[in-house]
Amino acid sequence: MEDLQSELAQVLVSEQQIRDQVSEIAGQISSDYEGVDNLYIVGILKGAFIFLADLARELRIPHSVDFMAVSSYGKKGATSGEVRLVMDLREPVTDKHVLIVEDIIDTGQTLTYLLKTLKGRRPASLKTCVLVRKDRKSLDVAIDYLGFVIPDVWVVGYGLDYLDRYRTLPFIAELDRRVYDVPA
C-alpha cells in the first residue's frame, strides 16, 4: 500500500471548499446561459473528469457533455511542452454555445491551443471554466469562470495527477517535492 501521507506536502483546497465553489460556479453559469437552448460542455481529459461531473450535475440549464483529450509533447510528469490533440469531439461545434472545462492552468499553453482550435470551428459562443490557476506568469488566456488561485507548486487530487496517480483524492493537495523533483 502507498504511504499517501508522506507523499503529500499539504492540502491546499479542501473537499468542502471545492464543493462550495463548484456550486457557486454552477449557479453563475446557469444564470449566464439562461434561455440558451443548449450549452455544449467540453471536458478536457483526463484531468477535468471529476470537476466536470460535479459541475454539470449542478447546472439548471439544458446542456450536453463531450470530451477532448490533449497531451503535451515530451511531458513526463511535471513539465509542460507543445500541445497535441489526442482525441477530438464527437460532434462539430459550429453554432453551438461551447464551454471548455479544464482542470488547471499552468503555463496557459493547453487552454490557448484549445481556444484557437475551437474558435476556428465557428461556435456560437466560446467560454472557459477552470478549476485552478497557478499563481505564476502564464500566457494571457481568458478564464471566464475560475475556482481557485493556488501557489506555483505541483498539485494532485480532484482529477489532477502526477504520472496518472492521485486523481481520485477528494481534495487538492501539494505533492511533496521529493516525489517529483527527481534529479536529472
Return the active site residues. 106
106, 78 contact by CB (below 8 A) = no
Binding site partner of 160, from ligand IMP, Mg ion, none, Cβ cut-off 5-8 A by kind: ligand IMP
Which stretch, 1-9, 23-31, 33-41, 148-156, contacts ligand IMP (CB under 6 A)?
Answer: 148-156
C-alpha cell at 93: 461545434
Distance CA 99, CA 179 (A): 34
At 148, give phi and psi (nearest 5°). Answer: -145, 150
Please enumerate, as own/partner, the contacts of 165-168 that have beta carbons within 8 Å and a separation of 24 or more. Answer: 167/46, 167/47, 167/50, 168/50
Partner interacting with residue 106 (select from Mg ion, ligand IMP, none; CB below 5-8 Å by kind): ligand IMP
Q: Using CB under 6 A, pick the residue from 7, 80, 89, 176 that binds ligand IMP.
A: 80
Is 109 a binder of ligand IMP (CB under 6 A)? yes
110 touching ligand IMP, by CB under 6 A: yes
Among Mg ion, ligand IMP, none, partner that 109 touches (CB below 5 to 8 angstroms by kind): ligand IMP
Q: Which of 12, 56, 101, 160 binds ligand IMP (CB under 6 A)?
A: 160
Q: Is 158 in the site for ligand IMP (CB under 6 A)?
A: no
3-state helix, strand, coil in the chain (%, to 5): 25, 35, 40
Separation of CA 129 from chain center: 7
Residue among 40 and 113 whose Cβ is closer to ligand IMP: 113
Rounded Cα–Cα distance for residues 89 and 66 (Å): 6
- Report in angstroms how near the CB of residue 114 gets to ligand IMP at its nearest: 9
- Contact between residue 49 and residue 159 where contact means Cβ atoms under 8 Å apart: yes
3-state secondary structure of 108: coil
For Mg ion, the binding residues (CB under 5 A) are 47, 103
For ligand IMP, the binding residues (CB under 6 A) are 47, 80, 102-110, 154-156, 160-161
